[in-house]
Amino acid sequence: MDRRKWIDWAIKGITGLYGMAIAYPLVRFLHSGEGEAEEKVTQIKLEKNVVPEPGTSKIFKFGSKPAIIIKRPDGAVHALLATCSHLGCTVDYDKKEDKIACACHGGRYDASTGANISGPPPAPLKPLKLEEKDDGYYVGVV
């Protein structure tokens, strides 16, 4: 094989690899979620011991989505879906600020209502209905 054919072969090979490197994520994106049935959950029960101490929070699963239950320092208990409206990262409660924070891009939400306060999130967190009964907390869609 002469030098010209080898260079031609190498350029075509490298171009093919770059093409596959670009095509693979695109194909994965276009087929993401295909065949996955979204679990429809309207209400779940949390045991009383799952609810955190005042000033803390607990992440739990609400169907297939992460949710957060927060017991604020004043004793008020709130539940929200814990998926940031910016890029879908899971949020957490910041005890010092008494706010919900997204570690991905610094978004901040109100701990009671889920309203977006600062950062890039375009929409508030979705609140969940929380009902306390003798046998536990019932969390459901609003």
End-to-end Cα, the chain, rounded Å? 71
Highest mean pLDDT: which of 8-17, 19-28, 39-48? Answer: 8-17
Task: Examine the domain organization and report whether 57 and 32 are in the same domain.
Answer: no
69 and 112 co-located in one domain: yes
C-alpha to C-alpha distances, 30 to 24, 27, 96, nearest whole angstrom: 10, 5, 41
Count structural domains, the chain.
2
Could you tell me the residue range of the domain that residue 59 belongs to? 43-141
CATH number at residue 74: 2.102.10.10
My answer on whether 32 and 84 are in the same domain is: no
Claim to verify: residue 21 and residue 68 sit in the same structural domain: no
pTM over 0.75: no
Cβ atoms of residues 135 and 116 within 8 Å: no
Residues 74 and 124 reside in one and the same domain: yes
Please check the confidence at residue 84 and state whether its pLDDT lies above 80: yes
- Rounded CA gap, 79 and 26, in Å? 35
